[in-house]
């Protein structure tokens, strides 16, 4: 074989491998994965103004998106959701999860040049996170002491174990703020929340044009050597979903995270030149079907079971998530492999079977009337998130086939809060929940007894002391195997009682310009932009 | 009778006095309707997760939302008397500052659209009226039909897809290029480029309306005896139309242009959202979603004041154009 043929065969081999790799992995990687370069401006979409930057006192999505460029958590979550060092260089878990000892980064500084110390961690936890943060407050509820024996050591002691404590310590949940700028002030009204944020993060805020954009510039004193690589990162505020996508296609945006990406466009764009994309860029999220168990026919468990059997969950996945993800398999998202019980299977318990569903409804005392219907139900969904009305439309159509007449109300978010959570003036609803990376953080609230009527807490009225006890135990041990046992027991009860069902397990998808590399180091799309770099950049900062 | 400065100032003062109860009524009605709408601004602030009740209570107390509604209204009216439009829950900023920050962008967009709709609309209407049932007149009719029929959100999307994404001629979103970050004349040019598509979207309906009103008004005036006399005197057609007829045809046109102003501000909320234009229309849209009551009420008040002023200017323009119109 002559040299020319060898070159051709090698080229074909490389192409075949590249093709195979491209087909087999849910990602089209950027052009080069070599040494990061410096410079450039990345423009990222944001849906609205951040109400503030201090994400230690709010869980607002915009605040966290901007805040995680400015601040750091003690850890960040890697692609598999494992805690990795950020402001904490290392940590040790003692007394079976009752004590955490963090060793802090030696070179971290605040943007104003003051040194970052353990006092900042203690202050933020005690005065902000434990008092005001909607999620971290629960994680810190059983803290008995936060000790700072030296500027680089923080010891956190608990009276009870909270298993996913480390997961909560990422920037998205628990950013660390500067004590020297907040001590002695009202932390809710401190001007550094809104006007002059000071963090330890990879970028500093230089401009905030409300309603238009926020400009962040590189922090040259960032504690991770060599990082960040970008000179500027701009958050461009575009409220309209189609406007964001058009701006991205036009090259006016370089990155759209899954929250802002219309999933129906994935098939059109996934092979288009100039873009890279990645699936499952954030922690598991689900669409749940929820019944109001306090009124109407759905108070009867047999009716809920029959209605579940009448739903084609694969069709819901197709219509609402455009095939991105999978149908719900049981009450816990199957991506939590350690917690998922494969023996509890919706496909076996409630296979899509309208005829059998009809018979079950007959047996439950709801035969078809002369007009062909059995009973009517109201279904309330939030209109702003298109996959929710789309899911509800499939459910309505499926239930109509078995004689259940559904009035579907797609209403704006605030009205949905009132109808579903505050007044419980609904019969069924489809809701989207994030797991927040751990069932104890994001999924317990779906099933646990709760009478607060707060948004995003079990609106079904379902209350089962055994389930509550199992969930409590599952969050009280560190070992995943032990935790999983409790969840597996809970799944059996929840699948049978079925106050709430996982309709679909959604896959997220982020899109980015292929002029940049280094995305998706973290399990959440909020942070680790310090690793993103521009391929046409310079070699040195 | 020609208006004198005394009658003019008396007229303005009288109209200002009449506007006060009107604006007060607008404030009270807006306040009541907004607060009766379902929703809770505190929930937006704490984000999509169950917030501890004490956090919610602290925020409600801080923003005065735990007081009775009538109490909140009296406090708000008291603040208005001292020129304070309140404090934005969502933006943590004084409402006056927020509106003043965003108003120039809206004035630029709406002003451009209003000016273009007035000038081009009148020109198209006059040209159509000079040759009724001509090709130009039919074009004007079809254009007006399309202009009225197309919703701004649809037209805006079409223009972005066609002109921006397809042809690549103009930017799709925002007010200035962020990547180039230009300054001086480069910035002016960049703003001009970004302005074209949203202004074209906003202008379409008004241009159509103005051209139709101008056409029918001109047709009516051109049939008047004094126009026939002017022509009989041997004046050029150009002089007859533009010096004699147009001025008298302007009264209904001025009415429509004044009427446009109020709707321009409402329409700009959609256009600013589609094109990510950072004006008060966008601010209103965002504030509605966030139930940021003080901002919503502040913008409504500014818009209502603008409409009252536009009506006043329209009345003054009547008197200028037609000396028979008296201020009393």
What mean pLDDT do residues A392-398 have? 97
B172 → closest Cβ in A237, A250, A419:
A250
Q: What is the pLDDT of residue A369?
A: 94
Cβ atoms A322, A258 nearer than 8 A: no
Q: What is the pLDDT of residue A34?
A: 78
pLDDT per residue as tens digits for the range A166-186: 989 999 889 999 999 999 998
Yes or no, beta carbons of A59 and B47 under 8 Å apart: yes
Which of A18-32, A138-152, B166-180 is predicted with the least confidence, judged by mean pLDDT?
A18-32
> How far, in Å, CA of B190 to CA of B179, rounded?
11
A442-481 residues touching B, CB cutoff 8 A = 445, 452, 454-457
DSSP string, B62-118: HTTTTS-HHHHHHHHHHHHHTT---EETTTTEEHHHHHHHHHHHHHHHHHHHHHHHH
The residues, any chain, with a CB within 8 Å of residue A442's CB and separated by 6 or more, are: A283, A433, A434, A435, A436
Yes or no, beta carbons of B49 and A134 under 8 Å apart: yes
Identify the three-state secondary structure at position A156. strand
Q: What residue spans of A259-386 are helical by DSSP H? A: 266-269, 301-309, 313-321, 346-349, 354-363
Yes or no, beta carbons of A236 and B173 under 8 Å apart: yes
A407-426 residues touching B, CB cutoff 8 A = 412-415, 417-419
pLDDT of A10 higher than 60: no
> How far, in Å, CA of B164 to CA of B146, rounded?
21
Q: What is the pLDDT of residue B5?
A: 54
Q: What is the pLDDT of residue B37?
A: 82
What mean pLDDT do residues A66-70 have? 96
- Which of B49, B171, B172 is the best residue to mutate to test the A interface, defined by the most A CB atoms within 10 Å of its own CB? B49
- Which of A240, A452, A526 is the best residue to mutate to test the B interface, defined by the most B CB atoms within 10 Å of its own CB? A240
User: In angstroms, what CA-CA distances link B184 with B19, B190, B322?
Assistant: 41, 10, 44
Cβ atoms A182, A123 nearer than 8 A: yes
Largest CA distance in chain B: 85
> How far, in Å, CA of B257 to CA of B114, rounded?
8
Sign of torsion over alpha carbons B215, B216, B221, B224: positive
Domains detected in chain A: 3-28+54-190 (3.90.76.10), 285-506 (3.10.105.10)
Q: What is the pLDDT of residue B88?
A: 87
pLDDT of A17 higher than 70: no
Per CB-CB distance under 8 Å, the chain B contacts of A135 are 49
Yes or no, beta carbons of B38 and A240 under 8 Å apart: no
DSSP string, B124-167: HHHHHHHSTTSHHHHHHHHHHHHHHHS-HHHHHHHHIIIIIIIS
> How far, in Å, CA of B96 to CA of A515, rounded?
41
CA distance B15 to chain A (A): 35
Q: What is the pLDDT of residue A94?
A: 93
Q: What is the pLDDT of residue A66?
A: 95
The DSSP output letter for A78 is B
Paired with A431 in beta bridges are: A288
Q: What is the pLDDT of residue A5?
A: 46
The residues, any chain, with a CB within 8 Å of residue A42's CB and separated by 6 or more, are: A230, A232, A233, A234, A254, A255, A516, A529, A532, A534
β-strands A404-411, A375-382 pairing: parallel
What mean pLDDT do residues A426-439 have? 93
Sign of torsion over alpha carbons A219, A223, A226, A230: negative
Provide the token pair at A427: 């019969």
Q: What residue spans of A81-215 are helical by DSSP H? A: 118-123, 130-132, 136-139, 165-168, 179-182
pLDDT of A20 higher than 60: no
Q: What is the pLDDT of residue B327?
A: 63
> How far, in Å, CA of B51 to CA of A136, rounded?
10
Higher local confidence (pLDDT), A33 or A273: A273
Yes or no, beta carbons of B48 and A43 under 8 Å apart: no
Residue A455's pLDDT band (cuts 50, 70, 90) = confident
What mean pLDDT do residues A106-114 have? 96
Give the best-scoring range by mean pLDDT among A4-8, A337-341, A410-414, A437-441. A337-341
> How far, in Å, CA of B166 to CA of A454, rounded?
47
Provide the token pair at A147: 């000790």
Residue among B164, B287, B157, B289 nearest A253 (CA):
B164
The DSSP output letter for A186 is -
Residue A411's pLDDT band (cuts 50, 70, 90) = very high
Any B CB within 8 A of A135 CB? yes
Per CB-CB distance under 8 Å, the chain B contacts of A52 are 92
The residues, any chain, with a CB within 8 Å of residue B278's CB and separated by 6 or more, are: A209, A210, A211, A212, A237, B102, B105, B174, B175, B272
Q: What is the pLDDT of residue B259?
A: 76
pLDDT of A64 higher than 60: yes
Q: What is the pLDDT of residue A60?
A: 83
Query: Which chain B residue shows the shortest CA-CA distance from A458?
Result: B50
Any B CB within 8 A of A239 CB? yes
Residue with tokens 């805040």: A67
CA distance B113 to chain A (A): 21
Residue A14's pLDDT band (cuts 50, 70, 90) = very low
The DSSP output letter for A341 is -
Per CB-CB distance under 8 Å, the chain B contacts of A59 are 46-49, 51
- Ranges under pLDDT 50 in chain B: 1-3
The share of chain B scoring above pLDDT 70, in percent, equals 93
Cβ atoms A33, A174 nearer than 8 A: no
CA distance B265 to chain A (A): 17
Residue A16's pLDDT band (cuts 50, 70, 90) = very low
Neighbours of A350 (CB within 10 A): 23
- Indicate the average pLDDT of chain A: 90
Cβ atoms A40, A289 nearer than 8 A: no
- Which of B56, B173, B195 is the best residue to mutate to test the A interface, defined by the most A CB atoms within 10 Å of its own CB? B173
Provide the token pair at A513: 């310009």
What mean pLDDT do residues A281-292 have? 93
pLDDT of A364 higher than 80: yes
Residue A412's pLDDT band (cuts 50, 70, 90) = confident
The DSSP output letter for A193 is G
> How far, in Å, CA of A234 to CA of A214, rounded?
6
A58 → closest Cβ in B46, B165, B279:
B46
Yes or no, beta carbons of B286 and A239 under 8 Å apart: yes
pLDDT per residue as tens digits for the range A222-264: 999 999 999 999 999 988 888 899 999 999 999 999 888 888 8
Neighbours of A268 (CB within 10 A): 11
- Which of A42, A43, A49 is the best residue to mutate to test the B interface, defined by the most B CB atoms within 10 Å of its own CB? A49
What mean pLDDT do residues A365-388 have? 94
Any B CB within 8 A of A380 CB? no
Paired with A75 in beta bridges are: A85, A170
This prediction's pTM? 0.82
Per CB-CB distance under 8 Å, the chain A contacts of B102 are 210-211
């Amino acid at each position: 074989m002559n040299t020319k043929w060898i070159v051709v065969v090698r080229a074909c081999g490389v192409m075949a491998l590249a093709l195979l790799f491209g087909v087999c992995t849910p990602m089209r990687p950027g052009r080069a994965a070599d040494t990061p370069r410096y410079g450039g401006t990345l423009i990222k979409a944001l849906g609205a103004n951040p109400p503030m930057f201090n994400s230690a006192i709010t869980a607002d999505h915009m605040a966290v998106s901007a805040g995680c460029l400015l601040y750091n958590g003690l850890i960040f979550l890697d692609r598999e959701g494992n805690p990795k060092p950020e402001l904490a260089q290392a940590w040790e878990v003692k007394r079976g999860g009752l004590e955490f000892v963090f060793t802090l980064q030696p070179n971290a500084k605040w943007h104003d040049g003051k040194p970052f110390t353990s006092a900042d961690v203690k202050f933020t936890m005690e005065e902000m996170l434990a008092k005001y943060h909607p999620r971290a407050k629960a994680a810190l509820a059983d803290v008995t002491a936060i000790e700072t024996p030296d500027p680089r050591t923080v010891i956190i002691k608990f009276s009870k174990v909270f298993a996913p404590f480390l997961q909560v310590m990422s920037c998205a949940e628990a950013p660390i703020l500067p004590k020297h700028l907040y001590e002695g002030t009202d932390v809710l009204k401190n001007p550094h929340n809104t006007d002059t944020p000071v963090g330890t993060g990879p970028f500093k805020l230089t401009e905030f044009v409300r309603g238009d954009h926020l400009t962040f510039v590189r922090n040259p004193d960032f504690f991770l050597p060599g990082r960040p690589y970008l000179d500027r990162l701009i958050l461009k505020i575009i409220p309209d979903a189609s406007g964001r996508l058009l701006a991205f296609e036009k090259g006016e945006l370089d990155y759209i995270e899954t929250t802002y990406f219309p999933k129906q466009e994935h098939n059109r764009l996934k092979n288009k030149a100039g873009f890279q994309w990645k699936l499952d860029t954030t922690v598991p999220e689900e669409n749940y079907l929820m019944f109001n168990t306090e009124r109407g026919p759905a108070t009867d468990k047999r009716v809920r079971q029959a209605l579940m059997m009448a739903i084609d969950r694969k069709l819901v996945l197709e219509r609402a998530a455009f095939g991105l993800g999978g149908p719900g398999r049981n009450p816990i998202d199957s991506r939590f492999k350690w917690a998922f019980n494969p023996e509890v299977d919706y496909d076996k318990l409630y296979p899509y079977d309208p005829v059998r569903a009809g018979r079950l409804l007959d047996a439950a005392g709801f035969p078809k009337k002369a007009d062909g219907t059995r009973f009517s139900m109201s279904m309330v969904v939030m209109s702003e998130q298109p996959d929710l009305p789309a899911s509800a439309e499939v459910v309505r159509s499926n239930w109509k086939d078995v004689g259940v007449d559904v009035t579907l109300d797609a209403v704006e978010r605030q009205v949905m809060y009132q109808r579903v959570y505050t007044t419980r003036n609904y019969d069924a609803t489809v809701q989207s929940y994030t797991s927040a990376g751990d069932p104890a953080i994001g999924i317990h609230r779906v099933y646990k007894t709760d009478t607060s009527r707060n948004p995003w807490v079990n609106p079904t009225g379902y209350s089962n002391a055994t389930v509550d006890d199992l969930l409590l135990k599952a969050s009280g041990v560190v070992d995943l195997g032990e935790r999983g046992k409790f969840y597996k027991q809970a799944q059996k009860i929840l699948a049978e009682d079925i106050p709430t069902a996982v309709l679909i397990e959604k896959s997220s998808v982020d899109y980015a310009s292929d002029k940049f590399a280094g995305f998706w180091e973290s399990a959440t799309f909020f942070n680790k932009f310090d690793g993103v770099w521009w391929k046409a950049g310079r070699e040195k900062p | 009778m020609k208006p004198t400065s005394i009658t003019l100032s008396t007229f303005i003062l009288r109209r200002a006095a009449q506007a006060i109860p009107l604006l007060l009524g607008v404030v009270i009605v807006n306040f009541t309707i907004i607060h009766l709408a379902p929703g809770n601004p505190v929930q937006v602030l704490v984000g999509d997760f169950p917030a501890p009740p004490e956090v919610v209570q602290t925020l409600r107390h801080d923003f005065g939302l735990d007081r009775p509604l009538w109490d909140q209204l009296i406090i708000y009216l008291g603040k208005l008397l001292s020129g304070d439009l309140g404090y934005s829950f969502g933006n943590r900023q004084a409402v006056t500052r927020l509106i003043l920050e965003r108003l120039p962008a809206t004035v630029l967009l709406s002003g451009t659209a209003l000016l273009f709709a007035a000038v081009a609309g009148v020109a198209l209407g006059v040209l159509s009226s000079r040759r009724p049932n001509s090709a130009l007149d039919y074009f004007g009719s079809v254009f007006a039909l399309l202009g009225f029929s197309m919703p701004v959100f649809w037209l805006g999307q079409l223009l972005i897809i066609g002109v921006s994404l397809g042809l690549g001629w103009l930017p799709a979103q925002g007010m200035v290029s962020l990547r180039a970050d230009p300054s001086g004349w480069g910035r002016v040019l960049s703003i001009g480029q970004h302005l074209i598509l949203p202004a074209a979207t906003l202008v379409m309906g008004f241009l159509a309306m103005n051209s139709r009103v101008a056409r029918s008004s001109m047709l009516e005036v051109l049939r008047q005896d004094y126009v026939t006399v002017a022509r009989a005197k041997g004046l050029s057609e150009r002089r007859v139309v533009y010096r004699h007829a147009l001025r008298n045809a302007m009264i209904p046109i001025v009415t429509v242009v004044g009427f446009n102003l109020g709707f321009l501000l409402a329409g700009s909320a959609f256009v600013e959202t589609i094109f990510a234009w950072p004006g008060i229309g966008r601010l209103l849209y965002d504030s509605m979603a966030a139930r940021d009551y003080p901002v919503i009420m502040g913008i409504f008040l500014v818009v209502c004041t603008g409409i009252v002023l536009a009506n006043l200017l329209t009345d003054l323009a009547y008197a200028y154009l037609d000396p028979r119109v008296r201020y009393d």
